[in-house]
A and B are shown apart, each in its own frame.
Chain A
Amino acid sequence: MQQLFYFIRKFRYFLLFLLLEIIALTLTIQNHSYQQSKFINSANFISGGIYNKVSSITDFFNLKSENRLLAEENNRLKNWIEKNKPKDLNQVVTHIDSGNYIQKYKYITAKIINNNYTKRNNFLTLNKGTKENLKIDLGVINSKGVVGVVKNVSTNFATVLSILNSNSKINVRLKKSFHFGTLVWDGKNYNIAQITDIPRQAVVKIGDTIITGGKSAIFPEGINVGVVKNLKFENNQYKEINITLFNDMSALSYVQVIINYQKNEQKGLEQYNLDE
């Protein structure tokens, strides 16, 4: 016993270092797994509060580009309405039968108060949390395309796993055909992401548009992702497909968080299949 005390006293500095280092490495490994650490994330009131304060000042400088984005989105939506108008307005009978409508998705506006895009594993911080019904695993988009998936929530803030993260895997497909793939990021350029798992019979050409696949319960189908930039086809399969993202990940401000009302139903059914 005495020898043990002697040992501890002799190496107490090294043992303290070892203990703290093990805590740090555990936190690191936790962060590399799918689920982010519960405590070490910026969705707490201190860091969230500070980021919120700073962003309320720096927001002022982005007003111009933010207004342009809004105008562009309005323009796109107005054009969409014009395209889908019936020929003769008099023939339209307004008749709403609520039994015919089911709201599947709900969008919540939030603001990104801390944006990272230069690291290998990037996270964003949002200014809304459980107070506004945000939960883990909700999709985050903006008018141009996919941004990421909510990873951690506190009362007033949330962190988002950016698509620029090695853990981010989002189901996507070609707009022209129903061949699905997975969106990943190799960490090199924040404007360029990669697609893997595309079946070899799919015909992919440079300039093809990539949209979300809607297979997972997180994103609705058809949200813009990017355009195929270049690709390598070797040994009868796609080695590498680089896509240019529609979104400029370095300049994000207001985003929409998507709540899927049928998520539990879909997940439950899929789980039921797996259990059988």
Chain B
Amino acid sequence: MNKVVFNNMVRFILLVLFQVLVFNHINLFGYINPFIYISWVFLFPVRKSKSLLLLTSFFLGILIDVFSDSGGIHTAAILFIAYFRLPVLKMVMGKSDFDYVLFNLKNLTLNKLLLFITILTLLDTFMVFLLDYFSLSDIGAIFSNTILTSIFTILISFFGILLFTKKHK
């Protein structure tokens, strides 16, 4: 088996287990739980097929939803950011075409990496809380939850990516 495939499978399983067993029960300040599973979308190799990213993200989302009894909320949100990953990446990098083969997340400058993670995290958490509350009268709660959860998620996934990924040579 290919090393990249193996690494990604291990990452998939670890992300699900860490999310449902650890990060769903952190309850910082009483109610904030970070969504670290979306790091899957950040870390998925760019040179792999885009449809594979959609399909794997779908199954990751379904697993998270099964464990947290949330219907299809996390699936819908992670699919959304998986679809918009490439446009956001292009926007952050500021150029329309880049080298798919040699691209590596660690080669981005820290500012750009942070911006990339921030945009996708905000999108994802907003989708999650919008679908969870499912009513526009709770828009205040939706926004406050989105902001607080995003900050926590961005911090953890940013430092997680810095610590646990190797720099491409």
Contacts and interface: CB of A to CB of B under 8 A. Distances in A.
Interface of A: 12-14, 16-17, 20-21, 23-32, 36-37, 40-42, 44, 46-47, 50-51, 54, 114, 116, 118-121, 123, 125, 159, 166, 187-188, 250
Interface of B: 17, 20-21, 24, 27, 30-33, 50-51, 54-55, 58, 61-62, 65-73, 75-76, 79-80, 82-83, 129, 131-134, 138, 141
Contacts of B80: 21
A46 B82 CA distance: 26
A116 B68 contact: yes
A31 B68 contact: no
Contact of B72 (A26, A51, A119): A26
B22 to A, nearest CB: 10
A27 B65 contact: yes
10 contacts: A17-B83, A21-B79, A27-B72, A28-B71, A28-B76, A40-B72, A41-B69, A42-B68, A120-B132, A187-B141
Nearest to B57: A20
Given A16-B54, A50-B21, 10 more contacts: A28-B71, A28-B73, A41-B66, A42-B66, A42-B68, A44-B66, A50-B17, A116-B69, A187-B133, A187-B141
Nearest to A188: B141
A26 B21 CA distance: 26
A17 B79 contact: yes
Contacts of B62: 40
B72 A47 contact: no
A37 B70 CA distance: 10
A36 B55 CA distance: 24
A12 B50 CA distance: 10
Contacts, number: 107
Contacts of B75: 20, 23-24, 27
B69 A25 contact: no
A25 B65 CA distance: 12
Of A16, A17, A125, A159, the most chain B CB neighbours within 10 A belong to: A17
Contact of A120 (B21, B54, B82, B133): B133
A27 B21 contact: no
A224 B79 CA distance: 43
A167 to B, nearest CB: 10
A31 B70 contact: yes
A32 B71 CA distance: 8
A206 to B, nearest CB: 24
Contacts of B54: 13, 16-17, 20
B66 A40 contact: yes
Contacts of A31: 69-73
B50 A24 contact: no
B74 to A, nearest CB: 9
Nearest to B30: A118
B100 to A, nearest CB: 15
Given A25-B76, A28-B76, A159 B69 contact: yes
A119 B142 CA distance: 11
Nearest to A58: B25
A153 B131 CA distance: 25
B66 A47 contact: yes
A12 B71 contact: no
* Residue among B20, B32, B61 with max Cβ neighbours from chain A (10 Å): B20
B140 to A, nearest CB: 11
A123 B73 contact: no
Contact of A42 (B21, B31, B67, B131): B67
A121 B129 CA distance: 11
B31 A118 contact: yes
A112 to B, nearest CB: 13
Contacts of B66: 40-42, 44, 46-47
A100 B18 CA distance: 56
